[in-house]
């Protein structure tokens, strides 16, 4: 298991690139957005403080794809939930945060998490659909009386903070279950999900569960990776068959 984590960290290191643009440093990551473009963040130092920004790229890309968050209360509410949970601010189309040198790695990690979460949650297969995957899961939980806590943050053994969509409290039969919902399962982002679970579970007595939106075909590599990490998953199309796992 440790070897898999080391390979993932090495993949991130090898995929990072850097260039200076005036006072700004552009850091290109190996993570891809819905257009298969590499995600970049921009960093500017001001005294002993650092300003980290996506330069407005995340929301502008979604707008160009026909997803305007400000025109839907549901979408705006979900956006604010994601950003607030990760401590990321928004001004017009820009997502950003301020930090010091000590907290810089954690802040960069949170900004990248926010970009990936926003890109995943809002790029629906049918842009006109108003209900979100998370909202569908909440409705399913409440209809079936599943106990849950939404939007939880846990620190991993690395010291980094990871955001999960739900937590099912510990019961007599099962430990706490932390849950990540993936609206658009992709090979380039599954590594981040796996690492967040592995880092958190090593620091917390909890099991992990991934809920996959399988409206579109999911590549077999996703399932292979989940099995390799011994991480449970539920296909959204098979949710009824897995109610016992959620309410036990």
- Cβ-based neighbours of 175, under 8 Å, separated by 6 or more: 205, 206, 207
Which of 68-82, 89-103, 112-126, 138-152 is least confident?
112-126
- Quickly state the pLDDT bin for 248 (edges 50, 70, 90): low
- Quickly state the pLDDT bin for 111 (edges 50, 70, 90): very high
Per-residue pLDDT tens for 149-176? 998 988 888 878 888 999 999 888 888 9
By CB atoms closer than 10 A (0-12, 13-18, 19+), residue 71 is exposed
Which has the closest alpha carbon to 189: 132, 239, 238, 120?
A: 120
Given a cut of 50, whether residue 128 has pLDDT beyond it is no
Given a cut of 70, whether residue 126 has pLDDT beyond it is no
DSSP secondary structure string, 67-113? --GGG-HHHHHHHHHHHHHHT-EEETTEEEEEEETTTHHHHHHHHHH
Per-residue pLDDT tens for 19-66? 999 899 999 998 888 778 889 999 999 989 999 999 999 999 888 877
φ, ψ of residue 20 to 5 degrees: the values are -95, 130
SS3 191: helix
Given a cut of 70, whether residue 198 has pLDDT beyond it is yes
- pLDDT for 19 equals 92
Task: For residue 24, count other CB atoms closer than 10 A to its CB.
Answer: 15
- pLDDT for 127 equals 44
- pLDDT for 134 equals 85
Please answer whether residues 38 and 31 qualify as being in contact, where contact means their C-beta atoms are separated by less than 8 angstroms: yes
Given a cut of 80, whether residue 123 has pLDDT beyond it is no
> Would you list the domain boundaries of the chain?
15-122, 133-247
**What is the pTM assigned to this prediction?**
0.65
Please answer whether residues 222 and 119 qualify as being in contact, where contact means their C-beta atoms are separated by less than 8 angstroms: no
What is the sign of the dihedral through the CA atoms of 31, 33, 39 and 42?
negative
**What mean pLDDT do residues 196-204 have?**
86
Average predicted confidence (pLDDT) for the chain: 86
Given a cut of 60, whether residue 125 has pLDDT beyond it is no
Give me the CATH code for the 133-247 domain, please. 3.40.1350.10
B/e letters for 43-67, b = 16+ CB within 10 Å, e = fewer, are beeeeeebebbbebbbbebbeebeb
Please answer whether residues 63 and 92 qualify as being in contact, where contact means their C-beta atoms are separated by less than 8 angstroms: no
């Amino acid at each position: 298991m440790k070897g898999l984590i080391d390979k993932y960290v090495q993949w991130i290191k090898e995929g990072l690139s850097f260039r200076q643009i005036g006072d700004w440093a552009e850091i290109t990551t190996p993570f891809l957005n819905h257009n298969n473009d590499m995600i970049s963040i921009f960093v500017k130092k001001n005294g002993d403080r650092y300003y980290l920004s996506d330069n407005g790229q995340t929301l502008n890309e979604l707008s160009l794809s026909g997803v305007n968050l400000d025109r839907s209360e549901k979408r705006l509410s979900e956006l604010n939930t994601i950003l607030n949970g990760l401590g990321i601010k928004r001004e017009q189309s820009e997502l950003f945060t301020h930090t010091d040198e000590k907290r810089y790695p954690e802040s960069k990690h949170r900004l990248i998490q926010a970009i990936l979460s926003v890109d995943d949650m809002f790029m629906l297969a049918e842009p006109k659909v108003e209900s979100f995957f998370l909202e569908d899961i909440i409705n399913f939980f409440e209809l079936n009386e599943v106990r849950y806590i939404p939007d939880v943050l846990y620190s991993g053994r690395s010291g980094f903070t990871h955001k999960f969509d739900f937590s099912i409290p510990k019961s007599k039969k099962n430990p706490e279950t932390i849950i990540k919902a993936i609206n658009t399962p992709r090979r380039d982002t599954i590594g981040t999900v796996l690492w967040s679970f592995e880092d958190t579970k090593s620091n917390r007595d909890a099991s992990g569960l991934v809920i996959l939106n399988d409206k579109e075909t999911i590549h077999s590599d996703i399932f292979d990776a989940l099995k390799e990490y011994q991480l449970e998953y539920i296909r959204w199309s098979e949710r009824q068959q897995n109610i016992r796992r959620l309410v036990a």
